[in-house]
Amino acid sequence: MIPPEGYRPTQTPADADPDTNKANSDSNGVPVGQGSVVQSPIFTLMPGTEPTETDESDQSEPSDIPDQSSNLTVDFGFVPLVSLGNYVWSDLNANGLQDAGEPWISGALVELLNPDGSQAIDADGNPVAPVTTGGDGLYNFGNLLPGDYIVQVTPPNASYKPTLLPSDADPDTNPANNDSNGRPVGSTNVVRSPVVTLQNGAEPTAEGETDPSGLPDANGNMTVDFGFIPLLSLGNRVWHDVNNNGLVDADEVGLDGVKVQLFRAGDDPTTATPVATDVTAAGGYYLFDGLAPGDYFVYIPTPPADYPLSSGLTVDEDNGIDNDDNGVQTGVGAPVRSPVITLAPGTEPTNDGDNDAESDLTVDFGFHELAQVGSLVWLDKNKDGVQDDDEPGVAGVTVILYDAVGNKVAEQQTDENGAFLFANLLPGDYYLEFIAPEGYSFTVST
């Protein structure tokens, strides 16, 4: 006997022979080969020897054959098939619900398990092969017998973590079609559903989904969905801003060995534990990855010694533009911090060298090297403008440093050896003024 579409033979009792087992409530189908076709065992019909204790009357013989000459116990049972699916998606706002505009996830590995975690078996007795979500994020397991199952999902890579779960994530008791049903497996990003009980004619029909296996809607549960939050990353470079213009120029190099920390917006970096810490390397680069969506800032607790932050172009907002200085510093040697950077899936800049909308590699920090000027006021005995070996320095000479537009920058007096030094200066144009002590005049340049 060939079962109708969507059915498989039921389990046959140990004694399915109608000759030796006269029961009228059991199935007598024995599998034929490896398919779903069944046949009865060979049985013998003999007048006057057939079972009479059955509740069946001979409806197929209008000739009034005596009951003891008719065997009406040769029955065949078939089980309706059931199915399970549905969707793996990127939960951009991490609320555990499928919202409009949230994309599917392709390449997720979906496995069907028994409640004990072993591989499930289909209606034909074969292990249920894992499936991979395609371009629509959908998965489906058909050709199943009614029973208890668990769905396990492994996202396509480590840049996803499980989203939040609703208070009732059980697809049996809460057959909502827009929530996530995955519980994390240990500390991994693999998730499993609760045990899903599939029953013929009892599955949800209001979910608005069509079972691709073609089974009746009430035989398939298409509400077992899984949301994942795409993890994000943030970087990028600490560099030597030679010309102090706040921009990374072609001939400027990175600064390695700088500690960089990441904090959540609102944290006090002097007391809070950083989300992550990195040290610049390979040309001044740093990277924080595996981040959940949210607001962060980057913090440099100990900037390079004698290197103040660039004073040229400084960006104090999250503008997503690469190769500009994003730091704020209160003074030379003080810690440096970025503006608050908002990380959100699918919104990060793609013009920062990685073409990845899940990564912001535009948070750069420029430092420039300080300058200094000095050095000696001496007694030019022979007035030739050249210091000779026997010409000593002059102490107490007032030296004033001005910037290019005449603003006084600093003032000092020469030491006992006639030396002076203005250090920790920003690169730029300056000039010096010397005030001769009483009784001295300056050598005229020749």
d(CA 17, CA 38): 13
Closest CA to 285 of 245, 321, 319, 239: 239
Whether 287 has a pLDDT exceeding 90, the answer reads yes
What confidence category does residue 77 fall into, taking pLDDT thresholds of 50, 70 and 90? low
What average pLDDT does this structure show over 61-71? Answer: 55
Q: Is the Cβ–Cβ distance between 343 and 360 less than 8 Å?
A: yes
d(CA 156, CA 71): 59
Whether 144 has a pLDDT exceeding 60, the answer reads yes
Identify residue 262 by its one-letter amino acid code: L
Q: What is the pLDDT of residues 166-213, one digit of tens each?
A: 655 566 555 666 889 899 998 889 999 999 999 876 655 665 555 566
Residue showing tokens 């102090």? 244
Q: What is the pLDDT of residue 273?
A: 97
d(CA 232, CA 360): 8
Highest mean pLDDT among 19-23, 40-44, 74-78, 93-97: 93-97
Q: What are phi and psi of 63, to 5 degrees?
A: -95, 15
Buried b (16+ CB within 10 A) or exposed e, 392-402: ebbeebebebb
Higher confidence at residue 385 or residue 8?
A: 385
Higher confidence at residue 422 or residue 158?
A: 422
Paired with 419 in beta bridges are 376
Q: What is the pLDDT of residue 267?
A: 97
Greatest alpha-carbon pair distance for the chain in Å reads 152
Residue showing tokens 């899903």? 196
Closest CA to 243 of 6, 376, 426, 92: 426
Task: Give the up-direction half-sphere exposure of residue 140: CA atoms within 13 A in the CB hemisphere.
Answer: 18
Whether 96 has a pLDDT exceeding 60, the answer reads yes
Q: Name residues whose C-beta falls within 8 Å of residue 427's C-beta, 6 or more positions apart in sequence.
A: 243, 244, 368, 369, 370, 371
Which of 70-74, 83-87, 290-294, 309-313 is predicted least confidently?
70-74
Whether 1 has a pLDDT exceeding 60, the answer reads no
What average pLDDT does this structure show over 115-138? Answer: 94
What confidence category does residue 411 fall into, taking pLDDT thresholds of 50, 70 and 90? very high
Burial of 224 (0-12, 13-18, 19+ CB in 10 A): buried
Phi/psi-derived region of residue 338, left when phi > 0, alpha when psi is between -120 and 50, beta in every other case: beta
Structural domains of the chain in order of their starting residue, each with its CATH number: 1-78 (no CATH), 81-230 (2.60.40.10), 231-368 (2.60.40.10), 371-435 (2.60.40.10)
- The per-residue DSSP string of 93-150 comes to T-SSB--TTPPB--S-EEEEE-TTSSBPB-TTSPBPPPEE--TT-EEEEEEE-SEEEE
pTM for the whole thing? Answer: 0.58
What confidence category does residue 247 fall into, taking pLDDT thresholds of 50, 70 and 90? confident
Q: Which two tokens stand for residue 57?
A: 């009357």
Highest mean pLDDT among 103-117, 227-241, 320-334, 416-430: 103-117
Whether 19 has a pLDDT exceeding 90, the answer reads no
Q: Name residues whose C-beta falls within 8 Å of residue 193's C-beta, 6 or more positions apart in sequence.
A: 150, 151, 152, 169, 171, 181, 182, 183, 224, 226
Q: What is the pLDDT of residues 295-347, one digit of tens each?
A: 999 999 999 877 888 876 666 666 667 778 888 888 778 999 999 999 887 77
Higher confidence at residue 202 or residue 381?
A: 381
Whether 5 has a pLDDT exceeding 70, the answer reads no
What confidence category does residue 220 fall into, taking pLDDT thresholds of 50, 70 and 90? confident
Higher confidence at residue 271 or residue 355?
A: 271
Mean pLDDT of the chain: 82
What average pLDDT does this structure show over 120-125? Answer: 90
Higher confidence at residue 76 or residue 367?
A: 367
Q: What is the pLDDT of residues 20-49, one digit of tens each?
A: 555 556 555 566 655 566 566 665 556 755
